[in-house]
Amino acid sequence: MANTQTPVGLLLVQDVLTRVGKRRQEVIEYEITRRESERLMYRNMLGLNRFHLWSVVRSTAVAGVIVFLLAFMVGGIANLAQMLERLQKNGISLPSVLGATLPPIDVHAYIPQTAFLTYATHLPLWGAFDALRLALIIMIALLAWRAWRGFRVWKQSKLYYRMLEELEEELGALREWKSLS
C-alpha cells in the first residue's frame, strides 16, 4: 500500500489505514461508499447544469413577442389618448340628424376626463417598427446574458468532470486496497 502513485485525496486515508490495524476493512468500505456517493452527487449536478440551446432560443423568442406586443399596445394607448385630447381641445360638434331645427350635438361631453388619459398622452408614440426595434434590443440583451450564463455553466461542468475523474481514480485505488486486504 506504500505506493508512490497514491492519489492525493487518499493520502490521509492511507495514513489512517497504517495506524488502524483491525478496522482496516471497515475504513476502506466507508471511504468507497463516501466516494461513490460523491460521484453520484457530481453526476446529478452535471445533469442539472445542462445548457439546452433550444430552450434558450424559445424563451428569448417568447420574451421578444411579449415585449413587442406590450410596446405596440403602449403606443396605441398613447395615440388614442392624444387623439382624445385633441378632440377635447377642438370642441367638435356633430350636426343634428333632424336638420336645422335642433342644435348640433356637442361631443365634448362624451369624451372621458380621467387622469389615466392625461398621463397616457405622455407615453411614447411607438409604432410597429419602434416596438420591433425594442423587442430586438431586449432579445439581444437576453441572448448575451444567457451566453454569459452558459459560459459559467460550461466552466462549472469542466470542474465537475475533473472531480469525477479524480473520484474514479480514488475509487480504483480503494478497490485495489480492498482486494489486497
* 96-153 pLDDT, tens digit each: 666 666 666 666 666 677 777 778 888 888 889 999 999 999 999 999 999 998 899 8
**Res 82: pLDDT:** 85
**Res 99: pLDDT:** 61
pLDDT mean over 16-39: 89
Q: Mean pLDDT of all residues in the chain?
A: 85
In degrees and rounded to multiples of 5, residue 2 shows phi and psi of: -85, 60
**Res 102: pLDDT:** 64
Q: Spell out the residues 6+ positions from residue 175 whose beta carbon is closer than 8 angstroms to its own.
A: 32
Q: Spell out the residues 6+ positions from residue 51 whose beta carbon is closer than 8 angstroms to its own.
A: 150, 153, 154
In degrees and rounded to multiples of 5, residue 93 shows phi and psi of: -130, 145
Tally of CB atoms within 10 A around 15:
10
Q: Around 14, how many Cα atoms within 13 Å sit in the side-chain half-sphere? A: 17
Residue 32 has pLDDT above 90, yes or no: yes
Distance in angstroms (rounded) separating the CA atoms of residues 56 and 162: 27
> Is 170 within 8 Å of 28 (Cβ atoms)?
no
Write down the pTM of the prediction. 0.65
pLDDT mean over 146-161: 90
Residues 72-94 have pLDDT tens digits of 999 998 888 888 888 777 766 66
Distance in angstroms (rounded) separating the CA atoms of residues 180 and 171: 14
**Res 46: pLDDT:** 85
Classify burial at 55, counting beta carbons within 10 Å of its beta carbon; exposed 0-12, middle 13-18, buried 19 or more. exposed
Size (the chain), residues = 181
**Res 3: pLDDT:** 55
pLDDT mean over 53-61: 88
